[in-house]
Each structure stands twice: as structure tokens, then as C-alpha cells.
């Protein structure tokens, strides 16, 4: 009898500790904690640097037939470069200007999941592409910018495309931002810029279509887990269970 009480007390103690731990974890997301951005940025840059150092001649080539049908277009260097300012400006806005803490964490968690998975995938599955043109048909300031890009950025560790994933994640955050609902021009401009950045990765021969498709698929999965509240999922599965019980009841009566 005493043993039973001891076991129950032990279970209650563990349950109480678990609840307290969950409460402490929940409280973290009650504030923005902008320092997390700095810490994760350092972590990501170090991780990417290690990936670039790890790459040798042995890596998997990402390619599909559709890549060969997409022409090179140097003018897409403009939206491609704008990506750096676009992501930085969006993170700064949600971290400093926008007062909605939930929207801040939705963006930061989305970016964090995508960028971390990219590092893990590239570490386990070294990848690269051979799509870049050797000779440029035109000689202008845009091709000069592309040449500089090619010199700075290796054609390895490309899967899935972070340019694509981050652009779409930021576009979603801006589109759903409550404080920006009245700013229809800004929201639509963000979507247009996101689309142009996605296209630029393929027209500049920086990424294969596979990189883009997988990045968009990852966007969809992350969106489901980050933006759809747990209550909606519970209601959805609850309705399905009730529907199945009703169907089973009807079958039994028949």
C-alpha cells in the first residue's frame, strides 16, 4: 500500500516537473528575445563555412531535364541581390518595429527550420550543380555582376534553395502580418519580389528546378506546423473521428 502511494507520488512529481518545464519553455515565446537572431546567424554562418570547407570533388549533381530548357538571363541578378536586403529588412521589421510577438516567432522559427534543415541535408548529402554558362553571350554590367557572384559563391551546397525558402517564408510573414493588412501595395510588392527571387535562382543558373521545388515543398510543410494553430488541427481530426463513427454507425444499422 505504501509502495503504491510512493509510485503515485513519484508520478505526480514527474508530471509536475514536466508541466513546470513546459511552462518555462512557453514563457520564452512570450517575448521576442532578439538576441536569438544574432546567435543563430553566427551558428548558421559557421555551419555554412564548414560545409564549404568540407566540399570536395565527390558530391551529387542536382539536375533535371527542365533545367536545360531555362535560358540564362543576367537581368535576374537584380532580384537575386535584392534578396539580402529583403530578408534583412523583414527580420528587422518583425524584430524591432512590429509589436506582434507571435508573428515574430512564426517568421524566426520558419527561417530557422528551413536553414537548419539545409545545413543538415547538405552535410549528409553533399550536392552541387553544373548549370553555369562558361561563356556569356552578352557583355554588360549585369553579366559582370553575375561573374562576381560566381566567383564569390561556389556551385555547391544548393539543395534545397535557401534563396527560395527564405523569400517565400518572408513573403508569407508579410502577407499575414496584421499591422500591414491596410498596406496592400507593400504586401503585393513583397509577393512579386519573392516570385522574382525564386525565378532568379533558375535564370541565373544558381539552382536546379529540383532545388526550387523541394524548397517550396519545405515551405508548405513548415507553414502547416508554424501557422496553423494546434486547436485547428485538433478540431480537424476531431471532426474526422466523429465522421468515421457516424459512418460506422450507419453501416451497423444497415
Cβ neighbourhood burial of 126 (10 Å; 0-12, 13-18, 19+): middle
27-56 pLDDT tens trace = 666 777 889 899 999 999 999 999 988 876
Q: Is residue 185 part of a domain?
A: yes
Question: Is 29 among the domain residues?
Answer: no
- Give CA–CA dist 147/141, Å, rounded: 10
Between β-strands 60-61 and 127-128, what pairing exists: parallel, antiparallel or unpaired? parallel
- As a dihedral over the C-alpha atoms of residue 155, residue 157, residue 161, residue 165, rounded to 10 degrees, the angle is -140
Residue 33 lies in a domain: no
Within 57-152, residue ranges assigned H as helices are: 65-69, 77-92, 101-124, 141-152
Host domain of residue 163: 70-244
Number of domains in the chain: 1
Are 154 and 55 a contacting pair, CB within 8 Å?
yes
Residue 35 lies in a domain: no
Say how many C-beta atoms besides its own lie within 10 A of residue 169's C-beta.
Answer: 30
Reported as a single tens digit per residue, the pLDDT across 216-232 is 999 999 999 999 875 56
Question: Would residue 63 count as lying in a domain?
Answer: no
- Within a domain: residue 49? no
Rounded distance, CA 107 to CA 66, Å? 32
Residue 9 forms part of a structural domain:
no
Residue 119, pLDDT above cutoff 80 = yes
- In a domain, residue 150? The reply is yes
- Quote the pTM value: 0.82
Amino acid at each position: 500500500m505504501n509502495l503504491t502511494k510512493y509510485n503515485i507520488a513519484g508520478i505526480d512529481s514527474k508530471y509536475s516537473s514536466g508541466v513546470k518545464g513546459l511552462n518555462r519553455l512557453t514563457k520564452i515565446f512570450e517575448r521576442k528575445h532578439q538576441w536569438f537572431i544574432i546567435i543563430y546567424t553566427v551558428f548558421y554562418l559557421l555551419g555554412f563555412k564548414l560545409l564549404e570547407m568540407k566540399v570536395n570533388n565527390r558530391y551529387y549533381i542536382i539536375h533535371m531535364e527542365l533545367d536545360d530548357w531555362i535560358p540564362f538571363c543576367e537581368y535576374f541578378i537584380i532580384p537575386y541581390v535584392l534578396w539580402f536586403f529583403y530578408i534583412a529588412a523583414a527580420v528587422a521589421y518583425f524584430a524591432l518595429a512590429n509589436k506582434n510577438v507571435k508573428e515574430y516567432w512564426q517568421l524566426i522559427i520558419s527561417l530557422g527550420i528551413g536553414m537548419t534543415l539545409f545545413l543538415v541535408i547538405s552535410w549528409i548529402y553533399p550536392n552541387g550543380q553544373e548549370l553555369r554558362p562558361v561563356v556569356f553571350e552578352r557583355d554588360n554590367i549585369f553579366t559582370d555582376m553575375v561573374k562576381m557572384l560566381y566567383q564569390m559563391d561556389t556551385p555547391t551546397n544548393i539543395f534545397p534553395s535557401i534563396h527560395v525558402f527564405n523569400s517565400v517564408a518572408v513573403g508569407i510573414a508579410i502577407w499575414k502580418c496584421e499591422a500591414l493588412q491596410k498596406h496592400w501595395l507593400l504586401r503585393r510588392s513583397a509577393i512579386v519580389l519573392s516570385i522574382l527571387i525564386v525565378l532568379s535562382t533558375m535564370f541565373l543558373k544558381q539552382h536546379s528546378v529540383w532545388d526550387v521545388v523541394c524548397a517550396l515543398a519545405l515551405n508548405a510543410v513548415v507553414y502547416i506546423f508554424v501557422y496553423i494553430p494546434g486547436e485547428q488541427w485538433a478540431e480537424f481530426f476531431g471532426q474526422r473521428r466523429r465522421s468515421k463513427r457516424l459512418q460506422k454507425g450507419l453501416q451497423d444499422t444497415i
